[in-house]
Amino acid sequence: MASPAHWIAAAAPTTLPDELLEEIFLLLEAPADLARASSTCTAFRRVVSGRRFRSLHPPPAADFTFSFLPAPNDWRVCDALDARVLLRRRPGDAAAFADLVVCDPLHRRYVQVPPIPYDLAVSTGAPGMTLNCFLDPASEEKREDEDDVSFGVICAVHFQHKLVTFRFSSVTGKWRALTFDRELSLPTIHDVTLWSGLFKQQYVHGCFYWRIPGVYAIIQVQCTREMRLRQVEIPTVTYRQQKVFVEVGEGRLGLLVLHVGILDLYCKTLRDHCIGTEEWQHDRTIPLPKLDSTWSWWIVGADKRYVLLGAILLSRSWLQNPPAHYFTLDLKTFLFESLSVSNQLRSAYLYASFPPSLSLPSI
Amino acid sequence: MEVDKGKGEAEETRKVAEADRDTVTLKSSDGKLFEVSKEAAARLSTVLAGMIAGGSIDDNGTDLKQIGSEALENVVDYCNKHANSIPSAALISSSISFNTAPFKEPEEWERKFVDRLSHDALFDLVEAANFLGMERLLDVTCHKISEMMKGKSPDQIREVFNIKNDYTKEELEEIRQELAWAFYDD
């Protein structure tokens, strides 16, 4: 780095013609870098806000590179719900409690979620491993007006053989332990990374569902009125298949299972959020869209209305970033719609019901 | 008469020799002469390519009044280094998979080339590259300047680039509010 004396002597880039400043600013991919550069002097701002520059460098609708976070590359997306995204610091993956932030990628804001207090953790058992963190959909549903920016974060932690769940409320700014009507025993974990990958919550008709790795059952977690935990068997034909829980009509829990070339939908009736004892019913078989070559399908995620599926072309080398084709399945009509073709295989995430760009900040 | 004739012949001979020469001579605003390979100059600079093709290259040094000797030395240095560099495997493979991308990352030697420059020299070189229509050199120098801006606060950018903050207090406050998301707690 040059000495301050040298900087004084340095040619100010403001003497560069606008076309060269444009060239330089075009290389600032992160919106935050561009914004900071444009606020240094009026000449820079004039170039950045000029029509010509804007046509070359359109402002992103939302910043999913999370460039507004400190050390943006250190974070991993845990969950996305409406306007908010929950992220977890990467080196903290192996730590007992994850370092969390909730952000609004549209308005480029974030709030830090405080760590779970040590005494609260100790009161529930020995320190454990964070399995799954997600934004509480129930607090979204309860929200009454647009100005309400409260949110909740739920964190599932594995304490030896027990599953312990904590909830953070942005209203109180505090974590509390969620106490259920029974304790849930879990098999001993040998590989936490494998577990946290499988242990992904789903939210259907006011309840969370977790799959238990190695056990052919799901956990239903009801946080609404009574705090209930239930273990639910799944049909044997769905073992070892990719599957996702979905809302199908009033009071029905759907289990969508991926087989070769088709999706099978199994249903169970819910009574007052409770799963009955009757068997799963096979509701329908949905053929996947026909793709001409060898495509391999996977289920990316689901929300209330849509299931996002991806397909990659297997005939090409993995090293070459094979093209991925994304489809949505509408759960009302059971029709597929082609969404996009992308080479960015790794980063697919379902951001459903994302707000339009003129909406108010959510945090 | 004899002398004049001799001079004319010499001129003629030199012109033929110039056409056959594989270098061109460039003259900076402060009168210094630089030689550069004709092939590299024509390949890397659209302006020099046009002058060579149009025969407007001066044997005594083509006047480049807009470019100072330090910048011109760097331009010539870049052309020579470019002529000697073998495209890396990375550049070849990236040109296959991202052949629509407008910008290719600088190669190792290009990074080193711009890293050793002072700020003055870097900004002079950007302008020289722009004037001579040297697209690749322009990319490499602009890339270096953009790298110097990344992750910095407005104050740090002003300091590094010696920019005068010419906003009024009110304007600055307005910008800070509008772009609050882009500011760390600085």
* Between B86 and A52, residue with greater pLDDT: A52
Least CB–CB distance from B163: residue in A20, A40, A108: A40
pLDDT at A224: 62
Chain CA centroid to CA A321, Å: 22
Least CB–CB distance from B158: residue in A19, A31, A40: A40
Residue A361 pLDDT > 80: no
Q: Which domains does chain B have, with CATH numbers?
A: 12-150 (3.30.710.10)
Set of chain B residues whose Cβ sits within 8 Å of the Cβ of A44? 163
pLDDT at A288: 93
Residue A4 pLDDT > 70: no
- pLDDT band at residue A217 using 50, 70 and 90 as cut-offs: low
- Token readout for A202 is 């789903």
* Between B23 and A270, residue with greater pLDDT: B23
Over residues A99-117, the pLDDT tens digits come to 899 998 877 888 999 988 8
pLDDT at A11: 45
Question: Nearest to residue A286, comparing CAs of A268, A261, A310?
Answer: A261
pLDDT at B95: 35
Q: Parallel, antiparallel, or unpaired for β B23-27 and A336-342?
A: unpaired
Q: What is the pTM of this model?
A: 0.55
Cβ-Cβ contacts under 8 Å for B12 (sequence gap 6 or more): none
Chain A CB within 8 Å of residue B154 CB? yes
Where is mean pLDDT largest: A91-95, A255-259, A358-362?
A255-259
Set of chain A residues whose Cβ sits within 8 Å of the Cβ of B166? 41-43
* Lowest mean pLDDT across B18-22, B36-40, B111-115: B18-22
Q: What are the start-end ranges of the E strands in A9-99?
A: 75-81, 84-89
* Between B186 and A287, residue with greater pLDDT: A287
- Percent of residues, chain A, with pLDDT higher than 90: 10
Where is mean pLDDT largest: A2-6, A241-245, B134-138?
B134-138
Residue range A170-191: mean pLDDT, rounded = 76
pLDDT at B3: 44
Whether residue A76 contacts residue A87, with contact meaning beta carbons closer than 8 Å, is answered with: yes
Interface test with B, best of A8, A16, A18, A20 (most B CBs within 10 A): A20
Whether residue A124 contacts residue A97, with contact meaning beta carbons closer than 8 Å, is answered with: no
Q: Parallel, antiparallel, or unpaired for β A109-113 and A100-104?
A: antiparallel
* Between A122 and B150, residue with greater pLDDT: B150
pLDDT at A320: 57
Cβ-Cβ contacts under 8 Å for B55 (sequence gap 6 or more): none
Over residues A143-173, the pLDDT tens digits come to 665 567 788 998 887 776 677 888 899 989 9
Q: Are A109 and B181 in contact (CB < 8 Å)? A: yes
Chain B CB within 8 Å of residue A8 CB? yes
* Domain residue ranges of chain A, discontinuous segments joined by +: 11-56, 60-233
DSSP code per residue over B87-107:
PPHHHHHHHHHTTT-S--PPP
Where is mean pLDDT largest: A223-237, A266-280, A344-358, B30-44?
B30-44
Q: How far is A354 from chain B (nearest CA, A)?
A: 19
Chain A CB within 8 Å of residue B124 CB? yes
Interatomic CA distance for residues A274 and A222, integer angstroms: 9
pLDDT at A350: 59
- Percent of residues, chain A, with pLDDT higher than 70: 71
* Between A230 and A112, residue with greater pLDDT: A112
pLDDT at A204: 84
Over residues B64-102, the pLDDT tens digits come to 988 999 999 999 999 988 877 755 433 433 333 333 345
